[in-house]
């Protein structure tokens, strides 16, 4: 066995240590999190560990007064001992294309060069830089380059549409965009730069687009605005001094969906996020020096930010980035990659597991998977069947599974087993990490005591990774997270504390749908649908989906009523799907569309979603009280036309 990564005060190795750490972090958080931060490189140490007002103001601060740069902690700090250790392994979409490996020293040099290119292009501390890129090493490099000079990165998953990009550019006030010519996803090649071009038609403030050459595609470059990275980087210095940033300076903005309005820009800051990413990564996965960690998330999501990039690099570990998809060229791709790069800690989403379970087992049995040590799950509840398949066929019954519950807003893992240290039970996220004080609330906001209880999941005290604000609109953050139940951070999830005190996450209690681990607001999809000229009104609900966890079910009132012919219906549906793809992206395509002549509304005009949800779930008999409906006959029509 290799030795654990450098002993820091807050590394937990036994159940007793967990309980002791939990107690200390609860009773004396300042001492505990002060000690956890000692091992990092600071330009200036903090004045106060915790500050601000957690709730209802939602103005937490961590390590205020401190000065630092997260890239010095991800890179420079490791050079002496780990300069020649692999920082990143990049496995491309196509197994026949050569993979790439970057040592800590090489990554350091590339980040410095990219940072210098940004500076040469006028990017300054505090500027917002939007990244719309495929999973390629330069995406990781570009994120770190922004952080090196104090620019705020906002990565947008390269499956979002031009409209979605434009919304985010405008909301963040981004002036520089980094993108690539195109991307590979499974058997498909997708243009990327042209999507950006379309988005920027409505973003006049973007003055520079830096383009990476990924596929050697002929690409339109707009004179005066667009530059090729490979031309800009020629002859550029491989060192770049890191900007000393205040602990509470923003590090990144990441857009995520809520129950109302447009996606909001979740803001994380320098020091608290750094400590939380490092601490949760090392403890949950029990990381050791020789680990090769593979988090299959795209860097465009928070899981990619914290567990492909920042967590592993802060810990000095080796992180594998994968460009492809689980099923290309076949359903054995994940397992092939694990054997090829001797992956030890593997972190993926239940939706991927469920899609691979459906393939013949031969795809798994062709590989040894003997390098694996820890398996992780994230993004949505993992059902027991998927848990057992993962345990038996991938972990071969010898790898602990960590089912990690957290959110974009929490910065890192909040409730999870620590591998082989705290209990791992199917369909339970488990115990909270030290510093996390979860409670179950009743609807009226009172705390539900005891085990074997269910309620709204809320967090009672600040932790280093807590969301600091929503970009440009603190009141929105306050109203969404910190004001609904004063004194708590409200998660939007429902949970059960089982008879042993382990948490089971039930799912969202708000109007957010979790599709393949990606969040969408029902209102957000409805707004998109309503852009279609044929759509008068729409209502979107989630329903259980075998692979995606939840699917998107859209009820739509068309302008000319319910189409008379099958051909007409197909045409409407195709046009409606096209609108959603244009407004949000392919990932938000409704799975089912039902064209209706009316929606079940109360006399005051409120849509009764409860009924729509039940019908979508396949419940047809027990719809509850429908007498308050304006027109109860609508329900019969909806039932008759159910998809």
Binding segment for ligand WTA (CB under 6 A), chosen from 170-178, 195-203, 285-293, 401-409, is 401-409
Contact flag: residue 404 with ligand WTA (CB under 6 A): yes
Binding segment for ligand WTA (CB under 6 A), chosen from 71-79, 81-89, 189-197, 404-412, is 404-412
Give the shortest CB-280-to-ligand WTA separation in angstroms.
Answer: 11
Task: Pick between residue 5 and residue 552 the one whose CB is nearest to ligand WTA.
Answer: 552
Q: Which of 33, 229, 335, 406 binds ligand WTA (CB under 6 A)?
A: 406
Could you tell me if 631 and 598 are in contact, meaning their C-beta atoms sit under 8 angstroms apart?
A: yes
DSSP 448: P
Task: Pick between residue 284 and residue 378 the one whose CB is nearest to ligand WTA.
Answer: 378
Binding segment for ligand WTA (CB under 6 A), chosen from 108-116, 211-219, 298-306, 625-633, is 298-306
Binding segment for ligand WTA (CB under 6 A), chosen from 104-112, 132-140, 210-218, 406-414, is 406-414
Token pair, residue 100, equals: 């790439």
Rounded Cα distance, 507 and 297, in Å: 20
- Sign of the CA dihedral with 349 first, then 355, 357, and 361 last: negative
Buried b (16+ CB within 10 A) or exposed e, 308-342: bbbbbbbbbbbbbbbbbbbbbeebbbbbbbbbebb
Kindly report the number of other CB atoms within 10 A of residue 306's CB atom.
28
Give the shortest CB-55-to-ligand WTA separation in angstroms.
Answer: 18
DSSP 281-295: HHHHHT-BTT-EEEE
Give the shortest CB-281-to-ligand WTA separation in angstroms.
Answer: 13
- Of residues 468 through 527, those in contact with ligand WTA by CB under 6 A are 491-493, 505, 507-508, 514, 519
DSSP 305: I
Task: Pick between residue 408 and residue 422 the one whose CB is nearest to ligand WTA.
Answer: 408
Alpha carbon separation from 80 to 76, 77, 84, 116, 316 (Å, rounded): 8, 7, 9, 23, 12
Rounded Cα distance, 426 and 625, in Å: 36
Token pair, residue 605, equals: 């005009």
Task: Pick between residue 50 and residue 519 the one whose CB is nearest to ligand WTA.
Answer: 519
- Of residues 235 through 274, those in contact with ligand WTA by CB under 6 A are 256
Rounded Cα distance, 616 and 268, in Å: 37
- Of residues 148 through 177, those in contact with ligand WTA by CB under 6 A are none
Cβ within 8 Å of residue 205, ≥6 positions away: 169, 173, 174, 175
- Of residues 350 through 389, those in contact with ligand WTA by CB under 6 A are 377-381
Task: Pick between residue 212 and residue 386 the one whose CB is nearest to ligand WTA.
Answer: 386
For the chain, the C-alpha Rg in angstroms (whole number) is 24
Side-chain half-sphere CA neighbours of 118 within 13 A: 33
Task: Pick between residue 34 and residue 58 the one whose CB is nearest to ligand WTA.
Answer: 58
Rounded Cα distance, 180 and 610, in Å: 44
Cβ within 8 Å of residue 37, ≥6 positions away: 46, 49, 63, 271, 275
Contact flag: residue 72 with ligand WTA (CB under 6 A): no
Task: Pick between residue 333 and residue 428 the one whose CB is nearest to ligand WTA.
Answer: 428
Residue 15 is inside which H or E element, if any?
A: helix 15-27
Give the shortest CB-492-to-ligand WTA separation in angstroms.
Answer: 6
Give the shortest CB-413-to-ligand WTA separation in angstroms.
Answer: 8
Q: Is 480 helix (H, G, I), strand (E, B) or coil?
A: helix
Task: Pick between residue 69 and residue 408 the one whose CB is nearest to ligand WTA.
Answer: 408
Task: Pick between residue 249 and residue 403 the one whose CB is nearest to ligand WTA.
Answer: 403
Binding segment for ligand WTA (CB under 6 A), chosen from 13-21, 127-135, 361-369, 400-408, is 400-408
Task: Pick between residue 29 and residue 312 the one whose CB is nearest to ligand WTA.
Answer: 312
Contact flag: residue 302 with ligand WTA (CB under 6 A): yes
Task: Pick between residue 464 and residue 492 the one whose CB is nearest to ligand WTA.
Answer: 492
Rounded Cα distance, 12 and 35, in Å: 13
Give the shortest CB-167-to-ligand WTA separation in angstroms.
Answer: 18
Rounded Cα distance, 628 and 94, in Å: 57
For Cα atoms 154, 160, 165, give the angle at the middle one, nearest 5 degrees.
50
Give the shortest CB-179-to-ligand WTA separation in angstroms.
Answer: 23
Task: Pick between residue 59 and residue 514 the one whose CB is nearest to ligand WTA.
Answer: 514
Give the shortest CB-298-to-ligand WTA separation in angstroms.
Answer: 11
Give the shortest CB-614-to-ligand WTA separation in angstroms.
Answer: 21
- Of residues 417 through 446, those in contact with ligand WTA by CB under 6 A are 429
For Cα atoms 149, 254, 487, give the angle at the middle one, nearest 5 degrees.
110
Task: Please give the residue ranges that form the binding site for ligand WTA (CB under 6 A).
Answer: 256, 301-303, 377-381, 403-408, 429, 491-493, 505, 507-508, 514, 519
């Amino acid at each position: 066995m290799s030795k654990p990564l450098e002993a820091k005060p807050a590394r937990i190795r036994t159940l007793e240590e967990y309980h002791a750490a939990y107690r200390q972090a609860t009773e004396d958080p300042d001492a505990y999190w002060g000690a956890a931060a000692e091992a990092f490189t600071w330009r200036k140490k903090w004045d106060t560990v915790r500050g601000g007002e957690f709730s209802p103001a939602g103005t937490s601060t961590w390590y205020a007064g401190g000065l630092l740069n997260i890239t010095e902690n991800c890179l420079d700090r490791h050079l002496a001992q780990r300069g020649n250790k692999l920082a990143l392994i990049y496995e491309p979409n196509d197994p026949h294309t050569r993979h790439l490996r970057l040592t800590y020293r090489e990554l350091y040099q590339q980040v410095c060069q990219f940072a210098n290119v940004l500076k040469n292009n006028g990017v300054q501390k505090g500027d917002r830089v939007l990244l719309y890129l495929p999973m390629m090493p330069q995406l990781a490099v570009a994120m770190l380059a922004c952080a090196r000079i104090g620019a705020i990165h906002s990565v947008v998953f390269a499956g979002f549409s031009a409209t979605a990009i434009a919304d985010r550019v405008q909301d963040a006030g981004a002036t520089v965009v980094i993108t690539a010519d195109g991307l590979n996803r499974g058997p498909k090649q997708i243009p990327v730069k042209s999507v950006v071009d379309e988005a920027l038609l409505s973003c006049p403030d973007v003055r520079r687009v830096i383009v990476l050459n990924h596929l050697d595609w002929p690409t339109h470059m707009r004179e005066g605005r667009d530059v090729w990275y490979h031309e800009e980087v020629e002859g550029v210095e491989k060192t770049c001094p890191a900007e000393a940033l205040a602990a509470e300076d923003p590090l990144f903005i990441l857009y995520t969906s809520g129950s109302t309005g447009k996606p909001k820009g979740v803001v994380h800051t320098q020091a608290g996020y750094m400590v939380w990413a490092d601490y949760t990564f090392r403890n949950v996965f029990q990381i050791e020096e020789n680990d090769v960690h593979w988090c299959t998330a795209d860097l465009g999501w928070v899981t990619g930010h914290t567990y492909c990039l920042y967590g592993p690099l802060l810990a000095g570990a080796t992180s594998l980035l994968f460009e492809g998809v689980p099923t290309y060229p076949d359903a054995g791709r994940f397992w092939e990659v694990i054997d090829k790069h001797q992956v030890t800690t593997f972190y993926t989403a239940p939706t991927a597991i469920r899609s691979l379970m459906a393939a013949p087992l031969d795809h798994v049995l062709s590989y040894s998977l003997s390098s694996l040590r820890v398996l992780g799950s994230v993004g949505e509840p993992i059902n027991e069947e998927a848990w057992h398949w993962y345990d038996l066929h991938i972990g071969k019954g010898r790898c602990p599974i960590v089912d990690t519950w957290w959110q974009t807003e929490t910065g890192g893992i909040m409730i999870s087993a620590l591998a082989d240290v705290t209990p791992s039970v199917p369909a339970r996220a488990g115990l909270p990490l030290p510093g996390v004080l979860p409670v179950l609330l009743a609807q009226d906001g009172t705390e539900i005591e005891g085990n074997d209880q269910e309620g709204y999941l809320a967090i009672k005290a600040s932790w280093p990774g807590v969301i600091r604000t929503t970009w440009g609109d603190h009141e929105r953050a306050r109203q969404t997270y910190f004001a609904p139940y004063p004194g708590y951070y409200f998660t939007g999830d429902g949970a059960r504390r089982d008879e042993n005190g382990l948490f089971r996450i039930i799912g969202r209690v708000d109007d957010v749908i979790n599709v393949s681990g990606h969040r969408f607001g029902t209102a957000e999809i409805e707004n998109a649908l309503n852009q279609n000229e044929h759509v008068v009104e729409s209502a979107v609900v989630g329903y259980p989906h075998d692979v995606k966890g939840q699917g998107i079910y859209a009820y739509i009132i068309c302008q000319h009523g319910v189409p008379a012919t099958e051909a007409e219906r197909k045409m409407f549906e195709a046009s409606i799907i096209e609108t959603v793809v244009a407004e949000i992206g392919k990932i938000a395509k409704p799975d089912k569309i039902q064209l209706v002549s009316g929606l079940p509304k109360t006399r005051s005009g409120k849509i009764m979603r409860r009924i729509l949800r039940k019908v979508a779930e396949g419940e047809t008999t027990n719809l509850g009280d429908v007498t308050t409906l304006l027109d109860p006959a609508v329900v019969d029509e909806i039932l008759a036309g159910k998809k």
